[in-house]
């Protein structure tokens, strides 16, 4: 056995001490190490990857080999050709070494045994097929080199991949560029989930990622895509807050952004994105006025009609838009007067559908009910003004027979009765004082009649009801009954001489009550 190895660059013999010691202990050098050290200056760098992949594969388990060989068949073809070129190179340069020859023979024999095991006979491959194979191999190697050098240059990488798309789609050698695509996807993914990536750039990178991922199946794809979608959703929200302002430009940005977001998100995330979209509009439009809101809400409605997305997303848009209109209406009327509420209702009415109109009417009804309960107006003031409020607000609540109008009348009736009872209670209290007075009766009668005048004057629609509530007390006092009998529809009472004298004294001041 030859105990000399050669420096391939100088062709000078170098003693191999290991082989000299004991030729029986000789072991073939590692093919990968041998080829790498011998051909480090080879012009086609991809050959190193091919040979490395092949030398690794031959040391794998049987099950692994069964998987690798069909999948890497193109690499084996290239490897065999390379082995033959190496042999020719040694032969032409008269390089002979047991080490190198044995290493090459070892690789070739392993390769041929694997081909035989899988029933692949290279001699049966016709010349045309070989030519095509070699041509495709050269193109794939060229593509591999270009992709490898542009992994961090995303646009050029995708342009290159697109340029060779036909080759990649029609070739069985797609696995040859798998490492480059995986490295590229990793680089794009890290950029997408980076903290400083703007939303628009993130969307562009996501488009690139999804396109590149279509070339290569990756078991981590679903997991990474979920992380990407979550990142996009968060970034979308943050970008809308940072740009938030009342302007047409911002509305256009929201429209454009939500369309882009919906392309990426899963159904369970779409609802969250749409809710945020309308939340931003609500926050902005609350700072404006009803008429301006009407203009923007119409723009959103037109956008909702034109958007091209799933049926469930469109349904979510419509429901959210309806809620937005109702919420804005509720916001504006919450601090408005009755007259302002009617004006706001009429502004929104032109963009309300039937269901939204009913919701708005319910809001007005509840506001009016709360207004009645918490109103600072009481007694005569309430009785005077409530009729005006009912007439004003009723124009928004539908017909007199509508449910809302009936409900409003009921609530006002309850409040009115409560106020009348308070007035009656105060009027009755005056009689209790009169009953305990012996001297100065005429003065107390004067005060009671003055209170009656006040009731008649300040509650023209309800004074008869109030006086009738006190009828039992009035009829017990002849002088009081004399002046108020017409309101109670009673006959002139029979008076004592003393009572007639007091009537005569009081007629100058209260005689108009008799008439």
The arithmetic mean of pLDDT across residues 112-123, rounded, is 61
- Does the pLDDT value for residue 127 go beyond 50? no
pLDDT tens per residue across span 209-259: 988 888 776 666 777 888 888 889 999 999 898 888 888 999 999 999 999
Per-residue pLDDT at 98 exceeds 90: no
* DSSP-derived pairing of the beta strands 13-15 and 4-6: antiparallel
Whether pLDDT at 280 is above 60:
yes
Q: Which of 257-261, 279-283, 460-464, 498-502 has the highest mean pLDDT?
A: 279-283
Residue 33: predicted pLDDT: 55
What DSSP assignment string belongs to 91-106?
Answer: HHTT---HHHHHHHHH
Give the mean model confidence (pLDDT) for residues 458-472.
Answer: 81
Contact (CB, 8 A) for 478 and 418? no
Cite the DSSP H helix spans in 172-266: 178-192, 199-213, 221-242, 248-264
- Residues listed for the chain: 515
Q: Which of these, 372, 300, 288, 366, lies nearest to 332 by C-alpha position?
A: 288
How confident is the model over 362-421, as pLDDT tens digits?
998 888 777 666 555 556 666 666 667 777 777 788 777 778 777 777 777 777 777 778
**Closest among 283, 191, 215 to 245, alpha carbons compared:** 283
Check the CA dihedral 372-373-376-378 and report its sign.
positive
* Range with lowest mean pLDDT among 5-9, 295-299, 412-416, 436-440: 5-9
Distance CA 46, CA 144 (A): 8
Task: Measure the CA–CA gap between 345 and 349, rounded to whole angstroms.
Answer: 6
Bigger pLDDT: 446 vs 95: 446
Dmax over Cα atoms in the chain, in whole Å?
163
- HSE, side-chain direction, 13 A CA sphere, residue 26: 18
Report pLDDT digits (tens) over 136-182. Answer: 667 777 888 888 888 999 989 998 888 877 777 765 667 778 888 88
pLDDT of residue 105: 67
pTM of the full predicted structure? 0.61
Tell me what pLDDT residue 472 has: 86
pLDDT of residue 88: 66
């Amino acid at each position: 056995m030859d105990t000399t190895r050669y420096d391939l660059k100088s062709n000078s013999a170098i003693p191999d001490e290991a082989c000299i010691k004991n030729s029986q202990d000789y072991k073939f050098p590692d093919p990968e190490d041998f080829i790498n050290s011998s051909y480090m200056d080879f012009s086609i760098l991809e050959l190193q990857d091919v040979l490395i992949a092949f030398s690794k594969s031959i040391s794998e388990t049987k099950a692994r080999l069964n998987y690798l060989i069909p999948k890497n068949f193109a690499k084996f073809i290239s490897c065999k050709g390379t082995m033959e070129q190496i042999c020719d190179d040694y032969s032409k340069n008269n390089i002979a070494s047991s080490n190198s020859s044995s290493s090459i023979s070892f690789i070739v024999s392993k390769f041929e045994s694997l081909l035989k095991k899988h029933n692949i006979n290279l001699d049966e491959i016709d010349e045309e097929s070989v030519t095509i194979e070699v041509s495709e191999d050269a193109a794939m190697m060229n593509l591999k080199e270009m992709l490898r050098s542009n992994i961090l240059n995303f646009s050029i990488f995708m342009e290159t991949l697109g340029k060779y798309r036909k080759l990649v789609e029609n070739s069985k050698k797609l696995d040859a560029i798998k490492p480059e695509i995986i490295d590229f996807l990793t680089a794009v993914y890290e950029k997408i989930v980076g903290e400083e990536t703007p939303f628009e750039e993130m969307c562009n990178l996501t488009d690139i990622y999804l396109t590149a991922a279509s070339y290569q199946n990756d078991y981590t794809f679903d997991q990474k895509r979920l992380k990407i979608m979550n990142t996009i959703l968060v970034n979308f929200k943050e970008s809308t807050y940072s740009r938030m302002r009342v302007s047409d430009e911002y509305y256009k940005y929201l429209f454009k952004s939500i369309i882009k977001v919906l392309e990426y998100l899963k159904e369970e995330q779409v609802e969250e994105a749409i809710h945020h979209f309308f939340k931003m509009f609500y926050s902005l439009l609350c700072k404006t006025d009803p008429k301006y809101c009407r203009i923007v809400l119409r723009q959103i409605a037109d956008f909702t009609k034109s958007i091209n997305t799933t049926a469930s997303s469109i349904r979510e848009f419509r429901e959210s838009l309806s809620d937005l209109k109702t919420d804005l209406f509720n916001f504006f009327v919450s601090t408005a007067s009755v007259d302002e509420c009617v004006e706001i209702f009429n502004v929104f009415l032109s963009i309300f559908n039937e269901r939204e109109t009913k919701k708005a009417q319910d809001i007005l009804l509840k506001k009016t009910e709360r207004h009645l309960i918490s109103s600072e107006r009481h007694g005569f003031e309430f009785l005077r003004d409530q009729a005006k409020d009912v007439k004003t607000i009723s124009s928004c609540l539908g017909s007199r027979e509508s449910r809302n109008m009936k409900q409003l009348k009921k609530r006002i009736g309850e409040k009115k009765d409560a106020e009348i009872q308070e007035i009656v209670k105060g009027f009755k209290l005056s009689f209790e004082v009169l009953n305990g007075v012996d001297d100065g009766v005429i003065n107390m009668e004067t005060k009671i009649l003055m209170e009656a005048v006040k009731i008649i004057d300040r509650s023209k629609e309800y004074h008869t009801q109030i006086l009738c509530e006190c009828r039992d007390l009035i009829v017990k006092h002849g002088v009081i009954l004399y002046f108020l009998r017409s309101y109670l529809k009673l006959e002139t009472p029979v008076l004592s001489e003393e009572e007639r004298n007091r009537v005569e004294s009081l007629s100058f001041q209260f005689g108009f009550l008799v008439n």
